[in-house]
Amino acid sequence: MKNILVTGGAGFIGSNFVHMMLDTYDDIEVIVYDKLTYAGNLDNLIPVADNPHYTFYKGDICHANNVDEVMKKHKIDTIVNFAAETHVDRSLMEPGGFIQTDVYGTYVLLEAAKKHGVERMNQVSTDEVYGQVLEGRSKENDRLHTRSPYSASKAGGDLMCQAYYTSFNVPVTITRGSNNIGQYQYPEKVVPLFISNALEDKPLPVYGDGLQMRDYQYVLDHCRGIDMVLRKGMHGEIYNIGSGMETTNIVMTKAILHLLNKPESLIQYITDRPGHDRRYALDVSKAQALGWKNEYDFERAIAATVKWYVENQDWWRKVKEKKDYQEYYQRNYAGRDIKNDKI
């Protein structure tokens, strides 16, 4: 692993992965290739902008010729694909872009991996492909049971990776992460949305009864897990990466308010997300067997996350001020009923 192409490296997890890799190793080149959609943000990469081992290209993973050029120029031996449309609520509004990037874009990268004979391509996937898991924990060979256009597109990408391994021996691995939290997360996702709304004394819109369960994992634990799989994972295998702990959304919401010393009266229960998955839970023993271990429990992860958003208000205020953010907010939240009296 010498020349790593990080697609989607200007997004939340991708940028954290770039920081971590450049902080940890001085014998690698990191080449970020990112379309800079609404979620891509070059501010996330400012800390590495002058690093001589880092290069940035603006580009779409669906454009095979551009991908090919970068692969050739930098003699890429490893691809880590973070590039995706990632927000479930947006996938309910406009699924087409999800199918394009998350399925077709993955296919383009697999073709490039095959053509250039890479040592490894890791597809960054999600626990959402297992669908909601009301009891027990998802294992890597469980049946996929997707329920949103987002999770269905991610599952399509995963299946394409497995097909390229089986049919063409392309050395893929797939990592399936849980709900990441931490620095540089776009404030449409619940945790940065709730922290920033609370700091602005705006309501925190909780979907349904707020008793949905998520495995909130600190982003750097996820990034370290991906690095471990790149180094020690077996070709063709899938690895779940999560904290292995569960928290309800309402507990997460109250933890944020408590850390910020804000009142619970900011909580607003609103009409639920259609097809809202009730619970995700991962069995992470396969990744642990490689030597990886989750370090941040929920309390530490949420405290570190809140601290970052308190100390980096310019970062999220700049995002929230943009017209496209405000239009999305209006479109997603304006039509929903407020149901505080029913809870």
Catalytic-residue membership of 150: yes
Ranges assigned E (strand) in the chain: 3-7, 29-34, 54-58, 78-81, 120-126, 172-177, 179-181, 204-207, 213-214, 216-218, 238-241, 247-248, 267-270
Q: Does 171 bind ligand DAU (CB under 6 A)?
A: no
In 3D space, the residue among 245, 247, 248 whose CA is nearest the CA of residue 209 turns out to be: 248
- Quick check: 196 binds ligand DAU (CB under 6 A)? no
Contact region for ligand DAU (CB under 6 A) — 51-59, 113-121, 203-211, 220-228?
203-211
Spot the catalytic one: 77, 85, 102, 128: 128
Catalytic residue, chosen from 54, 130, 150, 296, is: 150
Touching ligand NAD, residues 154-183 (CB under 6 A): 154, 177, 179-180
| Per-residue binder mask for ligand NAD (CB under 6 A), 235-254, x = binder | --------------------
Nearest to 92 by CA among 207, 245, 223, 250: 207
User: Is residue 205 a contact residue for ligand NAD (CB under 6 A)?
Assistant: no
Residue written as tokens 């995002």?
319
Distance CA 69, CA 204 (A): 45
Smallest separation (angstroms) from ligand NAD to the CB of 24: 19
Footprint of ligand DAU on 269-328 (CB under 6 A): 273, 280
Binding to ligand DAU by residue 11, rule CB under 6 A? no
179 binds ligand DAU (CB under 6 A): yes
Does 106 sit near ligand NAD (CB under 6 A)?
A: no
Q: Is 215 a catalytic residue?
A: no
Residues 110-129 that bind ligand NAD (CB under 6 A): 124, 126
Q: What three-state secondary structure class fits 298?
A: helix
CB closer to ligand DAU, 28 vs 251: 251
Which tokens sit at 87?
A: 């927000």
299 part of the active site: no
Contacts of 335 (CB under 8 A, 6+ apart): none
Residue placing its CB nearer to ligand DAU in the complex, 190 or 219: 190
Residue burial 5-31, b: 16+ Cβ < 10 Å; e: rest? bbbbbbbbbbbbbbbbbbeeeeebbbb
Tell me if 83 contacts ligand NAD by CB under 6 A: yes
Closest by CA position to 160, among listed 117, 111, 115, 120: 111
Catalytic residue (choose from 34, 60, 127, 158): 127
Assess 87 for contact with ligand DAU (CB under 6 A).
yes
The helix-helix angle for 190-199 and 313-321 (nearest 10°) equals 100
Q: Measured between alpha carbons, how far is residue 150 from residues 27, 36, 51, 121, 274 in Å? A: 36, 19, 34, 21, 13
What is the rounded CA–CA span in Å between residue 341 and residue 272?
Answer: 15
Give the amino acid at 24. T
The binding track of 102-141 with respect to ligand DAU, each residue x by CB under 6 A or -, is ------------------------xxx-------------
Scan residues 84-103 and list those touching ligand NAD (CB under 6 A). 84-86, 101
Q: What is the rounded distance in angstroms from the CA atom of residue 87 to the CA atom of residue 229? A: 25
> Beta partners for 119?
none
* Count of residues interacting with ligand NAD (CB under 6 A): 30
Q: How many residues bind ligand DAU (CB under 6 A)?
A: 19
- Please report whether residue 82 would count as binding ligand NAD according to CB under 6 A: yes
Nearer to ligand NAD, 83 or 270 (CB): 83
- 60 is a contact residue toward ligand NAD (CB under 6 A): yes
Active site residues: 127-128, 150
Q: Which residues bind ligand DAU (CB under 6 A)?
A: 86-88, 126-128, 178-179, 189-190, 193, 205-207, 212, 214, 249, 273, 280
